[in-house]
Amino acid sequence: MRTLSVVIPATDGPTTLEHAVRAIEQAEAPPEQVIVVDRPEHLTSGAARNLGVRQANGDIVVFVDADVEVHADVFARIRTAFDEDPALAAVFGSYDDDPGSGSLVSDFRNLLHHHVHHEGAGPATTFWTGLGAVRRDAFLRVGAFDESVAWIRDIELGMRLRRDGGAVVLDPSIQGKHLKRWSLTSMIETDLLRRGVPWLRLILAGRADSAALNLGWRHRVGTAASVLLVAALLRRNLRLASIALATLAVVDRDFHALLMRRGGLRMLAAGVPLHVLHRLLAVTAVPIALGGHLLDGGNRQHDASC
């Protein structure tokens, strides 16, 4: 029988940690081991998770964020996934569609994550440590988390697991409630500097897949329509603005239905402009990432010639 070790990195004893641990302990088929890494500020999340894995003795390591309250069936689903597929290296899940924060920005951001992961269900070229499980031997064989990669080490790890020949699967039925409270500022900072720029840097370096999750064609069409919408509004071109809004209504119809179902007209009215902002941040990340990539390339060439 396979054994599970849960690793939770936690900084400054977050108030959500107690809820996260209690949900794990009360779940069906609970893990044999729960490791909470008391993470000092100077220790990166990747380093904290690597430290936790070194203490783990389970065959499967399950990463759970300190602000995620897992559903009761999570560990039963994870055990079944690995039992049924010997080639499976990793599996990860999704936030549920019932966020626990209560603010419009938080609900939008968590519902967007839920939607993207449900759209991307199946074989994946990425990974997610909010709620994801990996074979311990596969994790160690590919070198664990690269502690030099900023913010999105889980995505980079997923690429290495795939290149090592292991299967990675996104199973959105493996769910947890996200307890984090987002502000508009934290959303902008995360989407631009902690996700957008680092992810594009990995793509430019050939270490991530440009078609993974929300970098697929729907996101690209929606991004183009969002840029067109803002440009049209600035130029007071109502015809172009109407075309852009119509395009977003078609491309995002499933997400808009989710917003409406979970928060009504108020959530939909807030979610559409927030989604446009989210995509504009993705556009803004492109020149920043490209400039950093070119600068790093120049530095490497200089170092090689010295």
The pLDDT value recorded for residue 32 is 97
The pLDDT value recorded for residue 302 is 35
Architecture in CATH of 4-181: Alpha-Beta Complex (3.90)
pLDDT confidence bin for 218, thresholds 50/70/90: confident
pLDDT confidence bin for 204, thresholds 50/70/90: confident
Higher pLDDT, 54 or 217: 54
Instruction: Give residue-wise pLDDT tens across range 41-97.
Output: 778 889 999 999 999 999 999 999 999 999 999 999 999 999 999 999 999 999 999
Instruction: Give residue-wise pLDDT tens across range 188-197.
Output: 999 999 888 9
Higher pLDDT, 202 or 263: 263
Report how far residue 100's alpha carbon sits from residue 21's, in angstroms, rounded to the nearest whole number. 16
Q: What percent of the chain has pLDDT over 70?
A: 93
DSSP assignment of the chain: ---EEEEEEESS--TTHHHHHHHHHHSSS--SEEEEEE--TTS-HHHHHHHHHHH--SSEEEEE-TTEEE-TTHHHHHHHHHHH-TTEEEEEEEE-SS-SS-SHHHHHHHHHHHHHHHHT-EE-S---SSEEEEEHHHHHHTTS--TTS-S-HHHHHHHHHHHTT-EEEEEEEEEEEE-----HHHHHHIIIIIIIHHHHHHHHTTSS-TTSGGGSHHHHHHHHHHHHHHHHHHTT-HHHHHHHHHHHHHHTHHHHHHHHHHHHHHHHHHHHHHHHHHHHHHHHHHHHHHHHHHHHHHHHHHHHH-
Query: Does pLDDT of 222 surpass 60?
Result: yes
Region(s) of the chain under CATH 3.90.550.10: 4-181
